[in-house]
Amino acid sequence: MNSIVSTPTIAVLASDVADRIAAGEVVERPASVVKELVENALDAGATSVDVDLREGGRASIRVSDDGHGMDRANAARAVERHATSKIRDAEDLVGVASFGFRGEALPAIGSVSHLTIETATDDGAGVTVEVSGGILAGVRGAARQRGTSVTVASLFYNTPARQKFLRGARSEWRAVSETLTTLALVRRDVRFTVSHDGKEQMRLPVAASLRVRVAALWGNEVAERLVAVDDVSGAIRVSGLVERPTDVGTAGRRVFVTVNGRAVRDTGMVRAAEAAYRTTISAGLRPSVLLEIELPGGEVDVNVHPAKAEVRFRDRWTVERAVERAVRRSLGTEDSAAAVGYVRHFLPTEPAFGSPLGVESLRDTPVAAPAPLLDAVVPVADSASAATTAAAEQILVPPLSQFHRTYITFERPDALVLIDQHSAHERVLYERFMQALEGGQSSSQRLLFPLTLHLAPAEAEAFEESRALFAQLGYEAEAFGGSSIVVHAVPAPHPRFDAERCLRDSLAALTGDRSASTIAKHERLAATVACKAAIKSGDLLAPEEMRALYVALARTTLPAHDVHGRATILQLGWDELDRRFGRR
């Protein structure tokens, strides 16, 4: 039996079909239309943008601006495919700074809606261009001021299949609101007003900073929970705001990332920012991050996504490391400490927990070495040199007091500051133990009578696998038949240290995930030992011990947070105290 083989025929698509396919890449829903139109307004030099929607944009969308506008010829040409004022040749794609550049937005929108453009320049008559279903319906004169207004009505009226997949008006409005919020964060030099179904939903004046724009969008309380980021790594600058660790998880998460002024979706950059929170927040919590990344235009390709929502980096690893470093440094500043009530930045002449905590520039009476705690809390390889190191830096220590045998307190010009003694010592010991595990050696104290421990099989196995790590932390132990071990020397962080309990808890922590990376294993072990070895709530500290702990905390990289995500430092603003006592 002869089979009939049909030969496929290659044909050039009709222009209206091609236009609708192109529209599918650019126009997904009303929010896509709003994004393209507002970006066009911003590229046109607008200082004010007004957006008005009906039924979440399903019925109509109108975007008006005070940009430079278009004359009659340019307005008619703007609705043709691949017509753009942003680029001229392929070389212009390298480092392109404008939002749009493909020249597909207006014709794509016009192919699936009734599109009207009203525009005028400073020195020309106004013009109105109408497009319906991809067909130019008319070009006529109009009287109006400089700028452009674009109206999109009956979106997807000629593509019922696409229209059927639109969500309800409320859902579409939420998507539009998120889009406009992102654009408002990017262009803080522009005034935005937004109305929906006749009601004003958003009025954003020009903002002097990202924090001011955040406050206008989400309120002062949200803005005050964010810590400033500003760091330079080579040719890469990372700035913005990230959530204070003690506030992570208390409200909805917000993520905003720009690259050279263009808002993008980039999970790699967000993960890099989250990595900076290691040992400052509990596992599973996700902080809010609002970051702006600047780098040379030739190091990033913006022409990889139809909606320009993604970019490609020439050296992604370097950029991600720059992001992680910038966020990590910001979490080491005094602004990262937990605050009750608004606390202004400390004066630079005052003692400050900053990064590197401002202690190197402070001068006062050198700290002495009066108590056993000092050798333990100062994270140096040779504990015998602790007093010498402290004296050399001459760290300024304010008058300290202990309350409830738990908190060390002192005052600043704008706040009462409380330090949780256990959390603070835990942070100090954690960084000291991490240094030891990464190649150093922690001091230890030999026991007059060796300690014999009978372990569970899993614990004995964990000890054998990690014996070298325990030795670096100051434990000297050996197997003693079966599942028992004999301990000859232990760390000596302070006289109250319970070496047996600390070792048992540390072994229990290591019997979990055996597939963890070396870094994760080191962090888990150092965190466990630090927590068990730190002084406890209820321990009475001598004045010299409090001063020693203050000095040691000032030398850590993340002084405001312990290894479990809790705060070590709380700042209670005087304004808040006055308010609580009815003085304000």
Model pLDDT, residue 289: 97
For the stretch 451-496, pLDDT in tens is 898 888 888 888 888 888 888 888 888 888 788 899 999 887 877 7
| Burial class of residue 39, CB neighbours in 10 A (0-12, 13-18, 19+) | buried
Answer whether 286's CB lies under 8 Å from 279's CB.
Answer: no
Is residue 7 in some structural domain?
no
How many domains are there within the chain? 4
Answer whether 300's CB lies under 8 Å from 239's CB.
Answer: no
* Best CA proximity match to 105, nearest among 35, 159, 14: 35
Is residue 55 in some structural domain?
yes
Q: Is the backbone peptide bond immediately before 356 cis, with ω within 30 degrees of 0?
A: yes
**Rounded-to-integer distance, Cα 121 and Cα 352, Å:** 54
The segments of the chain whose pLDDT lies below 70 read 1-8, 11-26, 82-103, 303-309, 341-394, 512-518
Answer whether 424's CB lies under 8 Å from 570's CB.
Answer: no
**Rounded-to-integer distance, Cα 215 and Cα 223, Å:** 5
Do residues 290 and 419 both lie within one domain?
A: no
Do residues 89 and 167 both lie within one domain?
A: yes
Is residue 377 in some structural domain?
yes
Is residue 435 in some structural domain?
no
**Rounded-to-integer distance, Cα 217 and Cα 215, Å:** 5
For the stretch 290-304, pLDDT in tens is 999 999 988 888 765
Is residue 118 in some structural domain?
yes
Model pLDDT, residue 201: 95
Separation of CA 521 from chain center: 25
**Rounded-to-integer distance, Cα 264 and Cα 339, Å:** 32
Is residue 303 in some structural domain?
yes
Q: Could you give the percent of the chain with pLDDT greater than 70?
A: 80
DSSP character string of 380-407 = -S-GGGHHHHHHHHT------EEETTTE
Is residue 2 in some structural domain?
no
* Best CA proximity match to 379, nearest among 329, 307, 432, 306: 432
Do residues 326 and 454 both lie within one domain?
A: no
Provide CB contacts within 8 A for 144, sequence distance 6+: 118, 119, 120, 126
Radius of gyration (C-alpha) of the chain in whole angstroms: 31
Do residues 167 and 43 both lie within one domain?
A: yes
Do residues 372 and 457 both lie within one domain?
A: no
Do residues 35 and 82 both lie within one domain?
A: yes
Do residues 315 and 340 both lie within one domain?
A: no
Separation of CA 203 from chain center: 25
> What is the H or E stretch that residue 193 is in?
strand 191-196
**Which of 298, 313, 331 marks a domain boundary?**
331
- Reduced to 3 states (helix: H, G, I; strand: E, B; else coil), residue 132 is strand
- Residue in the structure block whose two tokens are 């600043």: 412
Do residues 50 and 177 both lie within one domain?
A: yes
Answer whether 150's CB lies under 8 Å from 115's CB.
Answer: yes
Whole-Å CA distances, 548 to 79, 521, 556: 71, 29, 13
Model pLDDT, residue 45: 92
Answer whether 63's CB lies under 8 Å from 73's CB.
Answer: no
Whichever domain contains 502, its CATH number is 3.30.1370.100
Within a 10 A sphere around the Cβ of 347, how many other Cβ atoms? 11
For the stretch 403-449, pLDDT in tens is 999 999 999 888 899 999 999 999 999 999 998 888 777 778 888 88
Model pLDDT, residue 125: 82
Helix count and strand count (H, E) for the chain: 19, 23
φ/ψ bin of 202: left (φ > 0), alpha (ψ from -120 to 50), beta (otherwise): beta
Do residues 180 and 292 both lie within one domain?
A: no
Is residue 8 in some structural domain?
no
- Containing structural domain, residue 272: 210-331
Do residues 120 and 222 both lie within one domain?
A: no
> What is the H or E stretch that residue 77 is in?
helix 72-77
Do residues 99 and 225 both lie within one domain?
A: no
Q: Are strands 191-196 and 48-54 parallel, antiparallel or unpaired?
A: parallel
Q: What backbone torsions phi and psi does residue 81 show, to the nearest 5 degrees?
A: -65, 140
